[in-house]
Structure 1
Protein backbone atom coordinates (compact mmCIF):
# COMPACT_ATOMS: atom_id res chain seq x y z
CA UNK A 1 0.00 0.00 0.00
CA UNK A 2 2.83 2.37 0.94
CA UNK A 3 4.69 1.55 -2.28
CA UNK A 4 1.53 2.11 -4.33
CA UNK A 5 1.11 5.51 -2.74
CA UNK A 6 4.75 6.40 -3.42
CA UNK A 7 4.41 5.37 -7.07
CA UNK A 8 1.22 7.41 -7.48
CA UNK A 9 2.90 10.46 -5.95
CA UNK A 10 5.90 10.07 -8.26
CA UNK A 11 3.69 9.77 -11.35
CA UNK A 12 1.62 12.82 -10.44
CA UNK A 13 4.67 14.95 -9.67
CA UNK A 14 6.36 13.79 -12.88
CA UNK A 15 3.28 14.65 -14.94
CA UNK A 16 2.91 18.11 -13.43
CA UNK A 17 6.64 18.71 -13.91
CA UNK A 18 6.26 18.07 -17.65
CA UNK A 19 3.74 20.90 -17.80
CA UNK A 20 5.47 23.20 -15.31
CA UNK A 21 9.16 22.32 -14.76
CA UNK A 22 9.73 25.18 -12.30
CA UNK A 23 6.31 26.33 -11.09
CA UNK A 24 6.17 29.73 -9.42
CA UNK A 25 3.40 31.73 -7.84
CA UNK A 26 2.14 34.27 -10.39
CA UNK A 27 1.88 37.16 -7.96
CA UNK A 28 4.74 39.65 -8.18
CA UNK A 29 6.49 40.51 -4.91
CA UNK A 30 9.88 41.61 -3.58
CA UNK A 31 9.61 40.44 0.02
CA UNK A 32 7.40 38.49 2.41
CA UNK A 33 5.32 41.55 3.35
CA UNK A 34 4.43 42.25 -0.27
CA UNK A 35 3.58 38.61 -0.91
CA UNK A 36 1.32 38.38 2.14
CA UNK A 37 -0.64 41.49 1.14
CA UNK A 38 -0.80 40.40 -2.51
CA UNK A 39 -2.24 37.01 -1.55
CA UNK A 40 -4.89 38.70 0.61
CA UNK A 41 -5.80 40.98 -2.31
CA UNK A 42 -6.02 38.05 -4.75
CA UNK A 43 -9.27 36.71 -3.26
CA UNK A 44 -12.03 36.65 -5.90
CA UNK A 45 -9.87 38.24 -8.58
CA UNK A 46 -6.91 37.26 -10.77
CA UNK A 47 -3.20 37.42 -10.01
CA UNK A 48 -2.80 39.51 -13.17
CA UNK A 49 -5.11 42.21 -11.83
CA UNK A 50 -3.39 42.17 -8.44
CA UNK A 51 -0.03 42.64 -10.18
CA UNK A 52 -1.37 45.78 -11.87
CA UNK A 53 -2.30 47.34 -8.53
CA UNK A 54 0.45 46.30 -6.12
CA UNK A 55 3.28 48.41 -7.63
CA UNK A 56 1.23 51.53 -6.87
CA UNK A 57 0.24 50.26 -3.43
CA UNK A 58 3.75 49.27 -2.34
CA UNK A 59 5.36 52.38 -3.81
CA UNK A 60 3.20 54.42 -1.45
CA UNK A 61 3.10 51.95 1.46
CA UNK A 62 6.30 49.86 1.31
CA UNK A 63 6.27 48.65 4.93
CA UNK A 64 3.75 47.28 7.44
CA UNK A 65 4.24 50.43 9.52
CA UNK A 66 3.23 52.73 6.66
CA UNK A 67 0.32 50.56 5.55
CA UNK A 68 -0.93 50.42 9.14
CA UNK A 69 -1.26 54.23 9.09
CA UNK A 70 -2.86 54.48 5.64
CA UNK A 71 -6.22 56.15 5.13
CA UNK A 72 -8.89 53.64 4.11
CA UNK A 73 -10.16 56.10 1.49
CA UNK A 74 -6.74 56.17 -0.17
CA UNK A 75 -6.41 52.38 -0.11
CA UNK A 76 -9.86 52.08 -1.68
CA UNK A 77 -8.81 54.30 -4.59
CA UNK A 78 -5.72 52.19 -5.25
CA UNK A 79 -7.28 48.74 -5.07
CA UNK A 80 -10.71 49.59 -6.51
CA UNK A 81 -10.01 47.62 -9.76
CA UNK A 82 -9.84 44.39 -7.73
CA UNK A 83 -13.43 44.48 -6.48
CA UNK A 84 -14.58 44.26 -2.85
CA UNK A 85 -12.16 47.15 -2.37
CA UNK A 86 -13.65 48.53 0.87
CA UNK A 87 -13.46 45.17 2.60
CA UNK A 88 -9.99 44.44 1.22
CA UNK A 89 -8.71 47.89 2.19
CA UNK A 90 -9.87 47.41 5.77
CA UNK A 91 -8.44 43.89 5.86
CA UNK A 92 -4.92 44.72 4.66
CA UNK A 93 -4.75 47.71 7.03
CA UNK A 94 -5.82 45.52 9.99
CA UNK A 95 -3.30 42.91 8.93
CA UNK A 96 -0.51 45.51 8.78
CA UNK A 97 -1.50 46.85 12.19
CA UNK A 98 -1.37 43.35 13.67
CA UNK A 99 2.07 42.76 12.14
CA UNK A 100 3.32 45.95 13.80
CA UNK A 101 1.62 45.39 17.16
CA UNK A 102 2.07 41.63 17.59
CA UNK A 103 5.27 40.96 15.67
CA UNK A 104 7.16 44.27 15.81
CA UNK A 105 6.79 44.79 12.05
CA UNK A 106 8.21 41.37 11.18
CA UNK A 107 6.29 38.93 8.99
CA UNK A 108 6.00 35.71 11.00
CA UNK A 109 7.42 32.56 9.45
CA UNK A 110 5.28 29.83 11.00
CA UNK A 111 1.75 28.80 10.08
CA UNK A 112 0.67 29.17 13.71
CA UNK A 113 1.79 32.81 13.87
CA UNK A 114 0.69 33.75 10.36
CA UNK A 115 -2.85 32.54 10.99
CA UNK A 116 -3.08 34.90 13.97
CA UNK A 117 -3.17 37.79 11.50
CA UNK A 118 -6.56 39.14 10.36
CA UNK A 119 -7.83 37.42 7.22
CA UNK A 120 -4.95 34.95 7.05
CA UNK A 121 -6.08 31.33 6.85
CA UNK A 122 -4.02 28.23 6.16
CA UNK A 123 -4.10 28.76 2.38
CA UNK A 124 -2.64 32.27 2.57
CA UNK A 125 -0.18 31.28 5.28
CA UNK A 126 1.01 28.27 3.27
CA UNK A 127 1.51 30.39 0.15
CA UNK A 128 3.72 32.77 2.14
CA UNK A 129 5.69 29.94 3.75
CA UNK A 130 6.33 28.17 0.44
CA UNK A 131 7.21 31.20 -1.66
CA UNK A 132 8.67 33.78 0.73
CA UNK A 133 10.32 31.58 3.33
CA UNK A 134 11.12 28.48 1.25
CA UNK A 135 9.43 26.27 3.84
CA UNK A 136 7.44 23.08 3.20
CA UNK A 137 3.67 23.60 3.19
CA UNK A 138 0.74 22.62 1.00
CA UNK A 139 -1.40 25.35 -0.55
CA UNK A 140 -5.02 24.25 -0.96
CA UNK A 141 -6.94 26.72 -3.12
CA UNK A 142 -9.98 26.18 -5.36
CA UNK A 143 -7.81 24.73 -8.15
CA UNK A 144 -6.09 22.26 -5.83
CA UNK A 145 -9.42 21.25 -4.29
CA UNK A 146 -10.85 20.45 -7.74
CA UNK A 147 -7.79 18.53 -8.93
CA UNK A 148 -7.30 16.61 -5.68
CA UNK A 149 -10.92 15.60 -5.14
CA UNK A 150 -13.07 15.61 -8.27
CA UNK A 151 -10.38 14.86 -10.82
CA UNK A 152 -7.58 12.74 -9.33
CA UNK A 153 -9.60 11.32 -6.40
CA UNK A 154 -6.73 11.86 -3.96
CA UNK A 155 -9.16 12.92 -1.25
CA UNK A 156 -12.84 12.42 -0.53
CA UNK A 157 -12.93 15.38 1.82
CA UNK A 158 -14.75 18.63 1.18
CA UNK A 159 -12.93 20.56 3.89
CA UNK A 160 -9.70 22.26 2.76
CA UNK A 161 -7.84 21.36 5.96
CA UNK A 162 -8.68 17.67 5.56
CA UNK A 163 -7.69 17.77 1.87
CA UNK A 164 -4.36 19.27 2.97
CA UNK A 165 -3.89 16.39 5.41
CA UNK A 166 -4.70 13.82 2.73
CA UNK A 167 -2.20 15.35 0.30
CA UNK A 168 0.43 15.49 3.05
CA UNK A 169 -0.04 11.75 3.61
CA UNK A 170 0.49 10.99 -0.11
CA UNK A 171 3.33 13.31 -1.10
CA UNK A 172 6.74 13.48 0.64
CA UNK A 173 7.41 16.70 2.54
CA UNK A 174 10.39 17.44 0.29
CA UNK A 175 7.94 17.82 -2.64
CA UNK A 176 5.34 20.00 -0.94
CA UNK A 177 6.70 23.28 -2.28
CA UNK A 178 6.75 22.01 -5.85
CA UNK A 179 3.32 20.42 -5.41
CA UNK A 180 1.79 23.63 -4.06
CA UNK A 181 2.71 25.87 -6.98
CA UNK A 182 2.59 23.07 -9.54
CA UNK A 183 -0.90 21.85 -8.71
CA UNK A 184 -2.27 25.40 -8.58
CA UNK A 185 -0.95 26.08 -12.09
CA UNK A 186 -2.06 22.64 -13.30
CA UNK A 187 -5.60 23.37 -12.12
CA UNK A 188 -5.54 26.91 -13.47
CA UNK A 189 -4.33 26.12 -16.98
CA UNK A 190 -4.71 22.38 -17.71
CA UNK A 191 -7.28 20.75 -15.43
CA UNK A 192 -9.64 23.72 -15.56
CA UNK A 193 -13.13 23.85 -14.06
CA UNK A 194 -14.75 24.07 -17.48
CA UNK A 195 -13.42 22.30 -20.57
CA UNK A 196 -10.26 20.78 -19.03
CA UNK A 197 -7.45 20.32 -21.53
CA UNK A 198 -7.45 16.53 -21.33
CA UNK A 199 -5.94 16.13 -24.82
CA UNK A 200 -2.57 17.54 -23.74
CA UNK A 201 -2.63 16.40 -20.10
CA UNK A 202 0.38 14.40 -18.92
CA UNK A 203 -1.75 12.85 -16.16
CA UNK A 204 -4.38 11.56 -18.58
CA UNK A 205 -3.51 7.86 -18.29
CA UNK A 206 -3.76 7.79 -14.50
CA UNK A 207 -6.72 10.17 -14.21
CA UNK A 208 -9.88 8.45 -12.89
CA UNK A 209 -12.19 11.40 -13.70
CA UNK A 210 -15.40 9.98 -15.15
CA UNK A 211 -15.98 12.91 -17.52
CA UNK A 212 -12.45 13.31 -18.84
CA UNK A 213 -12.19 14.13 -22.53
CA UNK A 214 -11.33 11.65 -25.24
CA UNK A 215 -7.88 11.72 -26.77
Structure 2
Protein backbone atom coordinates (compact mmCIF):
# COMPACT_ATOMS: atom_id res chain seq x y z
CA UNK A 1 0.00 0.00 0.00
CA UNK A 2 1.41 3.32 -1.05
CA UNK A 3 1.73 6.09 1.36
CA UNK A 4 -0.24 9.28 0.68
CA UNK A 5 1.77 11.93 -1.20
CA UNK A 6 4.06 9.40 -2.83
CA UNK A 7 3.73 8.10 -6.36
CA UNK A 8 4.42 4.62 -7.45
CA UNK A 9 7.32 4.06 -9.85
CA UNK A 10 4.83 3.30 -12.62
CA UNK A 11 2.97 6.53 -11.92
CA UNK A 12 6.25 8.40 -11.78
CA UNK A 13 7.15 7.01 -15.16
CA UNK A 14 3.76 8.07 -16.59
CA UNK A 15 3.82 11.60 -15.17
CA UNK A 16 6.30 13.09 -17.69
CA UNK A 17 3.84 12.32 -20.53
CA UNK A 18 2.14 15.72 -20.28
CA UNK A 19 5.55 17.37 -20.71
CA UNK A 20 6.06 15.52 -23.99
CA UNK A 21 2.86 17.08 -25.32
CA UNK A 22 4.39 20.52 -25.07
CA UNK A 23 6.81 20.03 -28.00
CA UNK A 24 3.95 18.77 -30.17
CA UNK A 25 1.93 21.84 -29.34
CA UNK A 26 4.93 23.96 -30.13
CA UNK A 27 5.33 22.17 -33.42
CA UNK A 28 1.68 22.79 -34.19
CA UNK A 29 2.11 26.46 -33.27
CA UNK A 30 5.23 26.70 -35.45
CA UNK A 31 3.41 24.99 -38.27
CA UNK A 32 0.55 27.42 -37.83
CA UNK A 33 3.01 30.30 -37.95
CA UNK A 34 4.60 28.85 -41.08
CA UNK A 35 1.19 28.51 -42.65
CA UNK A 36 0.39 32.07 -41.70
CA UNK A 37 3.76 33.18 -43.05
CA UNK A 38 3.17 31.24 -46.23
CA UNK A 39 -0.20 32.87 -46.52
CA UNK A 40 1.39 36.27 -46.12
CA UNK A 41 4.07 35.51 -48.70
CA UNK A 42 1.39 34.16 -51.01
CA UNK A 43 -0.50 37.38 -50.48
CA UNK A 44 2.66 39.30 -51.38
CA UNK A 45 3.17 37.18 -54.49
CA UNK A 46 -0.33 38.10 -55.63
CA UNK A 47 0.74 41.76 -55.82
CA UNK A 48 1.46 41.78 -59.63
CA UNK A 49 -2.12 42.84 -60.57
CA UNK A 50 -1.55 46.37 -59.21
CA UNK A 51 1.77 46.48 -61.12
CA UNK A 52 -0.04 45.72 -64.37
CA UNK A 53 -2.33 48.64 -63.67
CA UNK A 54 0.70 50.87 -63.22
CA UNK A 55 2.14 49.83 -66.60
CA UNK A 56 -1.06 50.64 -68.47
CA UNK A 57 -0.55 54.44 -68.58
CA UNK A 58 2.89 53.89 -70.17
CA UNK A 59 1.33 51.82 -72.94
CA UNK A 60 -1.23 54.55 -73.55
CA UNK A 61 1.52 57.17 -73.79
CA UNK A 62 3.46 55.03 -76.27
CA UNK A 63 0.36 54.69 -78.41
CA UNK A 64 -0.05 58.46 -78.55
CA UNK A 65 3.56 58.93 -79.64
CA UNK A 66 3.20 56.26 -82.31
CA UNK A 67 0.29 58.07 -83.97
CA UNK A 68 0.98 60.38 -86.96
CA UNK A 69 2.78 63.39 -85.54
CA UNK A 70 3.02 67.03 -86.40
CA UNK A 71 6.37 68.60 -87.14
CA UNK A 72 8.45 68.52 -83.99
CA UNK A 73 12.03 69.28 -83.14
CA UNK A 74 12.68 66.28 -80.91
CA UNK A 75 14.99 63.59 -82.28
CA UNK A 76 13.49 60.27 -83.33
CA UNK A 77 12.96 58.23 -80.18
CA UNK A 78 15.82 55.83 -79.45
CA UNK A 79 17.61 56.78 -82.71
CA UNK A 80 21.36 56.67 -82.25
CA UNK A 81 23.74 59.05 -83.93
CA UNK A 82 24.81 56.32 -86.32
CA UNK A 83 21.19 55.52 -87.21
CA UNK A 84 20.50 59.22 -87.82
CA UNK A 85 23.46 59.53 -90.19
CA UNK A 86 22.38 56.44 -92.11
CA UNK A 87 18.77 57.61 -92.39
CA UNK A 88 19.78 61.11 -93.50
CA UNK A 89 22.12 59.80 -96.17
CA UNK A 90 19.54 57.35 -97.42
CA UNK A 91 17.01 60.17 -97.77
CA UNK A 92 19.54 62.11 -99.83
CA UNK A 93 20.18 59.07 -102.06
CA UNK A 94 16.47 58.57 -102.61
CA UNK A 95 15.97 62.23 -103.51
CA UNK A 96 18.94 62.07 -105.88
CA UNK A 97 17.11 59.34 -107.82
CA UNK A 98 13.89 61.36 -107.94
CA UNK A 99 15.63 64.65 -108.85
CA UNK A 100 18.84 63.62 -110.63
CA UNK A 101 18.98 66.93 -112.47
CA UNK A 102 18.35 69.18 -109.43
CA UNK A 103 20.08 72.52 -109.89
CA UNK A 104 19.64 76.16 -108.90
CA UNK A 105 16.43 77.39 -110.49
CA UNK A 106 17.69 80.92 -110.95
CA UNK A 107 18.80 81.74 -114.49
CA UNK A 108 22.36 83.06 -114.71
CA UNK A 109 25.32 83.10 -117.09
CA UNK A 110 28.12 84.18 -114.73
CA UNK A 111 28.86 84.62 -111.00
CA UNK A 112 27.76 88.28 -111.06
CA UNK A 113 24.32 87.42 -112.41
CA UNK A 114 23.98 84.60 -109.89
CA UNK A 115 24.81 86.72 -106.85
CA UNK A 116 22.40 89.46 -107.98
CA UNK A 117 19.61 86.99 -108.78
CA UNK A 118 20.06 85.25 -105.42
CA UNK A 119 19.77 88.56 -103.55
CA UNK A 120 16.62 89.36 -105.51
CA UNK A 121 15.07 85.95 -104.72
CA UNK A 122 14.41 86.88 -101.10
CA UNK A 123 10.68 86.96 -100.30
CA UNK A 124 9.69 85.98 -103.84
CA UNK A 125 9.82 83.02 -106.22
CA UNK A 126 12.68 82.06 -108.50
CA UNK A 127 10.22 82.19 -111.37
CA UNK A 128 9.48 85.85 -110.66
CA UNK A 129 13.19 86.64 -110.46
CA UNK A 130 13.81 84.88 -113.76
CA UNK A 131 11.11 87.00 -115.35
CA UNK A 132 12.76 90.17 -114.01
CA UNK A 133 16.51 89.72 -114.41
CA UNK A 134 16.69 89.63 -118.25
CA UNK A 135 15.72 93.31 -118.45
CA UNK A 136 18.06 94.16 -115.56
CA UNK A 137 21.11 92.43 -117.04
CA UNK A 138 20.36 93.67 -120.53
CA UNK A 139 20.60 97.25 -119.26
CA UNK A 140 23.34 96.66 -116.66
CA UNK A 141 25.47 93.69 -117.80
CA UNK A 142 28.47 94.31 -115.52
CA UNK A 143 29.07 95.35 -111.90
CA UNK A 144 30.45 98.67 -113.14
CA UNK A 145 27.23 99.38 -115.05
CA UNK A 146 24.96 98.55 -112.14
CA UNK A 147 27.14 100.46 -109.68
CA UNK A 148 26.62 103.62 -111.72
CA UNK A 149 22.89 103.07 -112.31
CA UNK A 150 20.12 105.48 -111.40
CA UNK A 151 18.38 103.90 -108.36
CA UNK A 152 14.93 105.00 -109.55
CA UNK A 153 15.39 103.21 -112.87
CA UNK A 154 16.57 100.04 -111.13
CA UNK A 155 13.63 100.21 -108.72
CA UNK A 156 11.21 100.30 -111.63
CA UNK A 157 12.74 97.16 -113.11
CA UNK A 158 12.78 95.31 -109.76
CA UNK A 159 9.29 96.36 -108.65
CA UNK A 160 7.69 92.96 -109.51
CA UNK A 161 10.02 91.14 -107.10
CA UNK A 162 8.70 92.97 -104.02
CA UNK A 163 10.73 94.99 -101.51
CA UNK A 164 12.20 96.63 -104.60
CA UNK A 165 13.68 99.65 -102.81
CA UNK A 166 15.70 97.56 -100.37
CA UNK A 167 16.74 95.19 -103.16
CA UNK A 168 17.81 98.08 -105.35
CA UNK A 169 19.99 99.39 -102.57
CA UNK A 170 21.55 95.94 -102.10
CA UNK A 171 22.33 95.16 -105.75
CA UNK A 172 23.75 98.63 -106.42
CA UNK A 173 25.73 98.45 -103.18
CA UNK A 174 27.21 95.02 -103.91
CA UNK A 175 28.04 96.16 -107.45
CA UNK A 176 29.96 99.12 -106.06
CA UNK A 177 31.78 96.85 -103.63
CA UNK A 178 32.73 94.46 -106.43
CA UNK A 179 33.98 97.34 -108.54
CA UNK A 180 35.95 99.09 -105.80
CA UNK A 181 37.24 96.16 -103.74
CA UNK A 182 37.44 93.18 -106.08
CA UNK A 183 38.22 94.62 -109.49
CA UNK A 184 34.72 93.98 -110.81
CA UNK A 185 34.95 90.22 -110.14
CA UNK A 186 32.87 88.14 -107.74
CA UNK A 187 35.21 86.70 -105.08
CA UNK A 188 35.36 82.96 -104.59
CA UNK A 189 35.79 82.98 -100.81
CA UNK A 190 33.08 82.88 -98.19
CA UNK A 191 34.70 85.53 -96.00
CA UNK A 192 34.78 87.97 -98.95
CA UNK A 193 31.27 87.25 -100.23
CA UNK A 194 29.55 87.88 -96.90
CA UNK A 195 31.07 91.41 -96.86
CA UNK A 196 28.97 92.38 -99.88
CA UNK A 197 25.72 94.31 -99.17
CA UNK A 198 22.74 91.98 -99.06
CA UNK A 199 24.86 88.82 -99.13
CA UNK A 200 24.65 86.42 -96.20
CA UNK A 201 25.89 82.87 -95.76
CA UNK A 202 22.95 81.41 -97.67
CA UNK A 203 23.58 83.56 -100.74
CA UNK A 204 27.32 83.04 -100.43
CA UNK A 205 26.96 79.25 -100.47
CA UNK A 206 24.66 79.39 -103.48
CA UNK A 207 27.36 81.32 -105.35
CA UNK A 208 30.25 79.18 -104.11
CA UNK A 209 28.55 75.90 -104.88
CA UNK A 210 27.07 76.77 -108.27
CA UNK A 211 29.48 79.31 -109.73
CA UNK A 212 32.78 78.08 -108.26
CA UNK A 213 32.11 74.41 -107.52
CA UNK A 214 32.94 74.80 -103.84
CA UNK A 215 30.71 72.77 -101.46
CA UNK A 216 28.22 74.63 -99.34
CA UNK A 217 24.83 74.14 -97.68
CA UNK A 218 22.06 76.54 -98.65
CA UNK A 219 19.76 76.96 -95.65
CA UNK A 220 16.66 78.60 -97.11
CA UNK A 221 13.10 78.31 -95.78
CA UNK A 222 12.48 75.00 -97.55
CA UNK A 223 15.69 73.50 -96.23
CA UNK A 224 14.95 74.60 -92.67
CA UNK A 225 11.43 73.21 -92.76
CA UNK A 226 12.36 69.80 -94.15
CA UNK A 227 15.41 69.01 -92.01
CA UNK A 228 13.31 69.74 -88.93
CA UNK A 229 10.45 67.56 -90.21
CA UNK A 230 12.94 64.78 -90.81
CA UNK A 231 14.43 65.44 -87.34
CA UNK A 232 17.94 65.80 -88.62
CA UNK A 233 18.34 68.66 -86.15
CA UNK A 234 16.38 70.55 -83.52
CA UNK A 235 18.14 73.85 -84.25
CA UNK A 236 16.24 76.90 -85.49
CA UNK A 237 19.12 79.28 -86.22
CA UNK A 238 20.25 78.96 -89.89
CA UNK A 239 23.95 78.90 -89.02
CA UNK A 240 23.42 76.16 -86.43
CA UNK A 241 21.25 74.19 -88.87
CA UNK A 242 24.03 74.46 -91.43
CA UNK A 243 26.58 73.10 -88.97
CA UNK A 244 24.33 70.30 -87.67
CA UNK A 245 23.30 69.03 -91.09
CA UNK A 246 26.78 69.45 -92.52
CA UNK A 247 28.08 67.09 -89.85
CA UNK A 248 25.80 64.31 -91.19
CA UNK A 249 27.23 64.31 -94.72
CA UNK A 250 30.58 64.37 -96.49
CA UNK A 251 31.49 67.88 -97.55
CA UNK A 252 31.41 66.83 -101.19
CA UNK A 253 27.64 66.16 -100.87
CA UNK A 254 26.66 69.55 -99.48
CA UNK A 255 25.78 71.41 -102.68
CA UNK A 256 23.75 68.61 -104.28
CA UNK A 257 22.10 67.88 -100.92
CA UNK A 258 20.88 71.48 -100.80
CA UNK A 259 19.36 71.17 -104.28
CA UNK A 260 17.68 67.84 -103.48
CA UNK A 261 16.10 69.12 -100.27
CA UNK A 262 14.96 72.44 -101.79
CA UNK A 263 13.46 70.75 -104.87
CA UNK A 264 11.62 68.27 -102.67
CA UNK A 265 10.30 71.09 -100.48
CA UNK A 266 9.00 73.03 -103.47
CA UNK A 267 7.39 70.12 -105.29
CA UNK A 268 6.24 67.56 -102.72
CA UNK A 269 6.85 68.43 -99.06
CA UNK A 270 4.95 71.73 -98.94
CA UNK A 271 4.72 73.90 -95.85
CA UNK A 272 0.95 73.77 -95.35
CA UNK A 273 -0.10 70.49 -96.93
CA UNK A 274 2.66 68.01 -97.78
CA UNK A 275 1.86 65.36 -100.37
CA UNK A 276 2.70 62.49 -98.01
CA UNK A 277 0.88 59.88 -100.10
CA UNK A 278 3.06 60.65 -103.14
CA UNK A 279 6.33 61.10 -101.25
CA UNK A 280 9.20 58.79 -102.27
CA UNK A 281 10.80 58.97 -98.82
CA UNK A 282 7.61 58.47 -96.76
CA UNK A 283 8.98 55.33 -95.00
CA UNK A 284 11.94 57.37 -93.74
CA UNK A 285 9.98 60.42 -92.59
CA UNK A 286 9.00 60.79 -88.90
CA UNK A 287 6.42 63.42 -89.88
CA UNK A 288 4.53 61.18 -92.29
CA UNK A 289 0.80 61.83 -91.95
CA UNK A 290 1.10 65.57 -91.45
CA UNK A 291 -0.19 66.00 -94.98
CA UNK A 292 -2.45 64.15 -97.38
CA UNK A 293 -1.79 60.38 -97.28
CA UNK A 294 -4.25 59.23 -99.92
CA UNK A 295 -2.11 58.54 -103.03
CA UNK A 296 -4.57 59.93 -105.56
CA UNK A 297 -5.27 63.10 -103.59
CA UNK A 298 -1.59 63.53 -102.78
CA UNK A 299 -0.58 63.38 -106.46
CA UNK A 300 -2.84 66.35 -107.12
CA UNK A 301 -0.80 68.39 -104.64
CA UNK A 302 2.49 67.96 -106.51
CA UNK A 303 3.83 71.18 -107.97
CA UNK A 304 6.27 72.15 -110.65
CA UNK A 305 7.28 75.79 -110.70
CA UNK A 306 9.94 76.39 -113.32
CA UNK A 307 8.71 77.08 -116.84
CA UNK A 308 5.06 77.41 -115.92
CA UNK A 309 2.57 79.33 -113.86
CA UNK A 310 3.15 79.50 -110.08
CA UNK A 311 1.62 76.45 -108.47
CA UNK A 312 1.36 74.56 -111.76
CA UNK A 313 0.61 70.88 -111.12
CA UNK A 314 2.98 68.17 -112.19
CA UNK A 315 2.93 64.44 -112.72
CA UNK A 316 4.66 61.92 -110.43
CA UNK A 317 8.48 62.02 -110.40
CA UNK A 318 8.69 59.31 -113.08
CA UNK A 319 7.23 61.82 -115.54
CA UNK A 320 10.52 63.70 -115.39
CA UNK A 321 12.21 60.93 -117.36
CA UNK A 322 12.23 60.89 -121.14
CA UNK A 323 11.29 57.91 -123.34
CA UNK A 324 14.73 56.40 -122.86
CA UNK A 325 14.56 56.59 -119.08
CA UNK A 326 16.96 59.53 -118.92
CA UNK A 327 16.30 62.73 -116.90
CA UNK A 328 14.27 65.10 -119.01
CA UNK A 329 15.25 68.79 -119.04
CA UNK A 330 13.12 71.12 -116.88
CA UNK A 331 10.06 72.59 -118.53
CA UNK A 332 10.85 75.89 -120.16
CA UNK A 333 14.58 75.21 -120.20
CA UNK A 334 16.41 76.39 -123.26
Which TM bucket (shorter chain)? over 0.9
Partner of 1:101: 180
Q: Output one character per residue of 1:50-76: Cα deviation in whole Å (capped at 9) or x when no partner.
A: 101111100110100110000001101
Paired residues in the alignment total 214
On the 8 A contact 2:170/2:198 being kept in 1, the answer is yes
**Following the alignment from structure 2 to structure 1, what is the Cα–Cα distance between the partners of residues 183 and 238?**
31
**2:144 alignment partner, one of 44, 65, 76:** 65
**1:176 alignment partner, one of 254, 273, 287:** 254
**Following the alignment from structure 2 to structure 1, what is the Cα–Cα distance between the partners of residues 288 and 260?**
23
Partner of 1:9: 88
On the 8 A contact 2:102/2:256 being kept in 1, the answer is yes
State the shift of 1:19 in Å: 2.3
Larger relative contact order, structure 1 or 2 (CA cutoff 8 Å, min sep 6): 1
Which sits farther off after the overlay, 123-132 or 9-18? 9-18
**Following the alignment from structure 1 to structure 2, what is the Cα–Cα distance between the partners of residues 172 and 2?**
15
Which sits farther off after the overlay, 15-24 or 54-63? 15-24
**Following the alignment from structure 1 to structure 2, what is the Cα–Cα distance between the partners of residues 206 and 33?**
39
Q: How large is the Cα RMSD of the aligned pairs? A: 1.3
Q: Output one character per residue of 1:83-127: Cα deviation in whole Å (capped at 9) or x when no partner.
A: 111111111000100111111111011111100101110000011
Partner of 2:226: 147
Structure 1: gaps (5+ residues): none
**Following the alignment from structure 2 to structure 1, what is the Cα–Cα distance between the partners of residues 170 and 246?**
30
- Aligned pair 1:23/2:113, yes or no? no
**Following the alignment from structure 1 to structure 2, what is the Cα–Cα distance between the partners of residues 3 and 164?**
19
Bigger CA radius of gyration: 2
On the 8 A contact 2:217/2:254 being kept in 1, the answer is yes
Which sits farther off after the overlay, 2-11 or 119-128? 2-11
TM-score (norm 2): 0.62
Distance 1:183 1:26, change over 3 A: same
Structure 2: gaps (5+ residues): 1-79, 295-334
**Following the alignment from structure 1 to structure 2, what is the Cα–Cα distance between the partners of residues 47 and 29?**
12
